Chains A and B, each alone.
Chain A
């Protein structure tokens, strides 16, 4: 993954100057000649590190010409190699209005001390002798540096809020770097990083030297997280550098109500035309007391419902409250299942409901009447036996 990113970066880098050259050719018509250039003629390298310096040979408006390449000045003990197209080269041809890239590979001798080392690259052509002095300073590398900032380090919200920190990460070092993002958060908090306005979660992001990128650090936390202030630290790390960003979350308490029946059952029985009781359990599994909970129900036509108590002043966080619901199905209700909605409204716009399935039972009065009918029939038989029996 990293490798591919690097390759892509390289391709962009190599295509860039070429297109730049063609575009730049128009306004720079005055310039003509062949130039040997490099971007950073003076550079610093770490001790013992082989350095490659990019060179470029530009030909503006001159016929193609050849140049012999050499490195006449080499600091002592160093080994300098000119590379073209990846191989050591000794001469180069450059066409009109084109440029060729070269690399100068510099291998320091072991134990090369701190200090400045001078090199000169020479390209000798028929008409021109081009010289390019390069100074390599061996010493401590510029310390890699990362910077991380955010505009709003303190966020407030309830446990269900989607918290998101917009974080700007700046690569203040001289080289491109891949930055790993992590966060120290309280237990059960989860921090995910995405590119700003992006949705893809990431754990690391490449940032070119000197550039910065915006990231979103979104925090998800358990709903039951108690109210309070939580500190977190976001870390950006490369191999060489790191940056920390302390942020904080202020969780505000929030009631969260659930409506259910006893034991979580959402069903009950009721007799047609008769009062039936059903215990509704209000559970506050939020982090703040629910206040002024008002009960209501939506039942089929002809049903009567009432609650005892009708309103509950307060249900503390994590506590339950039983409410007795008295429902009276219509006397004409036929047996079977009906749906009714039990609703709990609390201050703060909390509106929770649950659908209960009420099985309406018809009165067993008919059963008694049926038995009575059979009893009457049997009485008739008893009478018949008494009157006509035993013949």
Chain B
């Protein structure tokens, strides 16, 4: 992963007194990749992000972000990373432009660069018409977009977005996700932390699942599904007849069969079993449909934490 990794963390650990907030996290993000970070509150997501940005010091472990060690070269890291905090605030009495000009100047942009990039960035997040209004007139959603505009102006190689869609309505959320895809199109790697699993699933190339300070799982949704649900392939079968579940279970490679109600059944398989299912059922029952279904992150998440709770108990 050496060449194009923009984030590379090894054994990142953060301890607050006796409390281990982040425990040996290894994380890699490649250039142009969108990686989602999942996990319940307090699982160490934000702490990890702060450590990657050099905003807090890891107790141990190492990270290289955009080619620099955030512990040694936090300025270089922050120069190349755009960060949208989970609770974003602006100087209320200043205009959007002044707010962004301030952080732009801090980011080392010249006045000309700020002038050039500001309009474009605001147009891109759909705030062009209120660019010169005071931030105090902005809604929460507009503020999130303004935060994104700030990142756009910075033209970072990594964008770190912490819970960016929490306060957004469904329509805005959709627009915001499109903007995140736009970032990827620019070649920016995105680290996206969110509770909205479906959103993560829709934009992320890979996900990392945090639990109690540990990075429990990471990989594509399919890989996660394979590990949590036992298989990475989900096939929905629609068939009428007796003992359909039993028949399905007989097929080699089938891990689990789950009735979905009516004549529908969900089959978790170790591989793409559509052909085998078709062959096996066609003569015995009335097969009306066979569909390839994507594994749901929601399912993976729910299952994983169900199992994790069971383990503890």
Contact = CB atoms under 8 A, between A and B. Distances in A.
Nearest to A391: B57
B74 interface: yes
Contacts of B74: 390-391
Q: Which DSSP category, helix, strand, loop or mixed, fits chain A's interface? A: loop
Nearest to A390: B74
A390 B72 CA distance: 10
Nearest to B57: A391
Q: Which 4 A-B pairs have the closest CB atoms?
A: A391-B57, A390-B74, A391-B55, A391-B74
Nearest to B74: A390
A391 B74 CA distance: 8
Contacts of A390: 74
A390 B77 CA distance: 14
Interface in A76-110: none
Interface string B31-68: 00000000000000000000000010100000000000
A390 B55 CA distance: 10
A391 B75 CA distance: 10
A388 to B, nearest CB: 11
A390 B57 CA distance: 11
Interface residues of B, number: 3
B8 to A, nearest CB: 22
B16 to A, nearest CB: 16
Contacts of A391: 55, 57, 74
A34 to B, nearest CB: 136
Contacts of B55: 391
Interface string A355-391: 0000000000000000000000000000000000011
B78 to A, nearest CB: 12
A33 B112 CA distance: 145
A153 to B, nearest CB: 106
A391 B55 CA distance: 7
B258 to A, nearest CB: 51
A228 B252 CA distance: 153
A361 to B, nearest CB: 50
Nearest to B56: A391
Nearest to B75: A390
Contacts of B57: 391
A387 B243 CA distance: 72
A204 B42 CA distance: 126
A36 B55 CA distance: 148
A390 B74 CA distance: 9
A56 B57 CA distance: 145
A102 to B, nearest CB: 127
B183 to A, nearest CB: 28
4 contacts: A390-B74, A391-B55, A391-B57, A391-B74
B188 to A, nearest CB: 26
Interface string A198-210: 0000000000000
B50 to A, nearest CB: 11
Interface in A119-149: none
A390 B54 CA distance: 10
A390 B78 CA distance: 13
A391 B72 CA distance: 10
B53 to A, nearest CB: 12
Interface in A25-68: none
B85 to A, nearest CB: 16
A391 B56 CA distance: 8
A391 B54 CA distance: 8
Interface in A3-17: none
Interface string B67-81: 000000010000000
A385 to B, nearest CB: 15
Interface in B185-219: none
B54 to A, nearest CB: 8
B106 to A, nearest CB: 15
A18 to B, nearest CB: 120
Nearest to B55: A391
A156 B300 CA distance: 136
Nearest to B54: A391
A339 B55 CA distance: 67
A113 B74 CA distance: 143
B68 to A, nearest CB: 14
Interface in B118-168: none
A391 B78 CA distance: 12
A176 to B, nearest CB: 113
A345 B310 CA distance: 114
A115 B57 CA distance: 150
B275 to A, nearest CB: 59
A325 to B, nearest CB: 65
A257 to B, nearest CB: 77
Interface string A300-341: 000000000000000000000000000000000000000000
A242 B74 CA distance: 119
